Structure 1
């Protein structure tokens, strides 16, 4: 029986659309309220970005129906098209056979041996940052953690660079890209060509970042040495014909790894320290576990599985403060649940929506690492927890990110305590990520532990 005969249902419209603009205004004004509220109208619902219809899947089962077929029924969606001019045709933007090819080629970047090396870089970066802290000092912890993530990422990407401004150019470029991504996704593409101050700043930041990365690649090509970092791996990769990757593709992969390895872990690290710092019970359990596992020595990659409670804290942070949306585009008319979605349609699934649905996470605004105990996490439906996406396009750097969150937090908590400073509440700010508006924290050195 034909699909059209089997299905008579079309996704319902979410109320609140504006004339001509559709849901652009509520999405931009209050995305953290708008997205979770959409689940009340169905497992698959329709919103509009101007005249563009967009289908939002809100139930774990319908999310899995979209993700499990992967690149068979879907290609990358609008949000990835917005990224391609900045990132190039790297693993974060390509689809189908090309994505599978690039994923195979990038596997050597994330072997266990390489992850062990990156873990040491991450710990060293954390130790160097905290060595400059003073007892009783109040820090803008969101900025400190973003800079720490930048340092860990750039040292993992390229251990050597003769240009001290390279990291700063990457930081500014990635911040411009992620902060403006939601706006660029919902507005028409023609808006990007308007010479607004924001668009001009964006273009300048992109140009500086691209130039810095091109310079580093040229330096590595000329040196011809394996420095044990990501760029060395990419330069050594050979395709099926035994050919090395062209500079354009290497540039795109470096850009992709920078996108996923700076802003997202930087924001997550800030939230992890915030949640530990504001709850004495959580802080006590984290530090007791670290002390027991490490015994005063420095944390290593092999210690990570034993840091079980810290792992649950990190899982809960990634549930609460998670990427806002991912997108797909249908290659043909598809059935999702009982709904028909036309070919060529934009489909959204929102980790933030799923992670804040009380059906799967009771009292969803409450921070509760106990959700991730085996007896509790086993009741969470598949598709309800997707901080790194899922299916064919799951984030290839998932283990890198989890390693960084655990290594850095353990290295800091082994020697420092911290508490939120001031009485002003910390607000969630939604861009491509959910980051704190400000995160002042006061740090104190622990006196009963010694660095290994």
Structure 2
């Protein structure tokens, strides 16, 4: 078998250690490295800092690990480091505590409940979109993060921060995520306890997040009859003994939801508008669909089912710019395919690399929303995992999909975003970020003309 650059060929029947350390690769290098590793078989080993880590490349084995063998694994190294948000929060909780917390929070994420959030989502993003200055370049990722953060806070917490506090929250989330990834890629616990500038910055960011959320909780406690949202649900929830949740656990839960909600969907939306800026025909199709369906009306939940092309744009962006790194750790000795993993084995897999596998997707590096058209052959269900699968699948998947469609359609109804000259490349951070994405908003006078004609 030919070796990818910098990686020795594998020996059949064995699981050798690849010599290239993932920690040594930069943000873009990490993505390329994970794609190259895929060529060496269903399961291989790599070096992550001082650790040997097993990489699962085969989507069938990934699916098995996340479903039928889910109880044999914890969430692993990256999620352990994400306990900066709080050790008991749903995204990082394990075992029975995770199951109880997921059951508690699930009602807030039922599809019927999410449909009721659509008007709130639209109202949350409208001030940001209305503030754009036609002809003045935007940092698109930051704008999408601010909008996604506003959606989460409005829909789930009944709170709307002013722009300056919103920036503080956003910067704190970025800092905590960056710190968690750095600690996962160079897992030397002793370094985390040193009073370094980086560690102090991470603690300050975590503290700022918790302070912002504590204010939301205090407002809900002071006016309990005013609110009906996920904060209210957590404040009134009781465990098996009838006791309410400790304040620190409620705080951690809301901080984690805020962080996840303002990061992942925002990055997907940034990439989506980047691709539209490179593909005028796709942008035209989106505008035509949105204009036809809305016909000058405000976007509501009833419109979303009539926007299939908008949905395919979101789905294709989720495919092409999926998370690049997910971790697990074997709780006990377990067989995965032909490989036996001993207890304590650190495992990683890359949705980004799976989604770009030419054996699973035709022309995988091409942005092609119509690959998801129902008349075209679809990839195996194991080959698409932007939200994971199984009992640890992201609880907010339907919320995120709805939010992405709402923001895409709302922006498209008013603006077109034109690319600013310069290269934009994917970077492996906590998710797959654009390196630097600036675009120029231009008001859609054609949409205004059509709206006037429809009245």
TM over 0.5: yes
Aligned length, in residue pairs: 438
Counterpart position of 2:7: none
Counterpart position of 1:144: 143
Change (3 A) 1:28 1:367: closer
SS in 2 for 1:283: helix
Counterpart position of 1:331: 331
Counterpart position of 1:401: 400
**1:444 alignment partner, one of 442, 445, 454:** 442
Counterpart position of 2:19: 16
Out of 26-35 and 43-52, give the one that drifted further: 26-35
Contact 2:16–2:44 (CA under 8 A) maintained in structure 1: yes
Counterpart position of 1:429: 427
Residue pairs, 1:97-112, within 5 angstroms: 97-112=96-111
Shift of 1:324: 1.5
SS in 1 for 2:418: strand
- Residues of 1 paired with 2:353 and 2:100: CA distance? 32
- Residues of 2 paired with 1:450 and 1:197: CA distance? 54
Unaligned stretches of 5+ in structure 2?
1-11
Change (3 A) 1:349 1:150: same
Shift of 1:103: 0.8
- Residues of 2 paired with 1:150 and 1:215: CA distance? 16
Counterpart position of 2:254: 254
Shift of 1:220: 1.5
Residue pairs, 1:20-169, within 5 angstroms: 22-26=21-25, 30-69=29-68, 71-160=70-159, 167-169=166-168
| TM-score normalized with structure 1 length | 0.91
Counterpart position of 1:278: 278
Q: Deviations over 1:411-443 (max 9, x none)?
A: 11012122112x211122221111112222122
Out of 394-403 and 230-239, give the one that drifted further: 230-239
Shift of 1:259: 2.1
Q: Deviations over 1:105-156 (max 9, x none)?
A: 0012113453134222221122221212233332222221111112212222
Counterpart position of 1:206: 206
Change (3 A) 1:26 1:274: closer
SS in 1 for 2:123: helix
SS in 1 for 2:47: strand
Q: Deviations over 1:294-337 (max 9, x none)?
A: 22211112222221111111111111112121111112211111
Say yes or no: does 1:347 pair with 2:350. no
- Residues of 2 paired with 1:69 and 1:245: CA distance? 31
SS in 2 for 1:348: strand
- Residues of 1 paired with 2:164 and 2:208: CA distance? 10
Contact 2:312–2:373 (CA under 8 A) maintained in structure 1: yes
Across the aligned residues of Structure 1 and Structure 2, the Cα RMSD in angstroms comes to 2.2
SS in 2 for 1:15: strand
Q: Deviations over 1:222-265 (max 9, x none)?
A: 22224233212322333344433221221121122112100111
Out of 84-93 and 383-392, give the one that drifted further: 84-93
| TM-score normalized with structure 2 length | 0.90
- Residues of 1 paired with 2:325 and 2:53: CA distance? 12
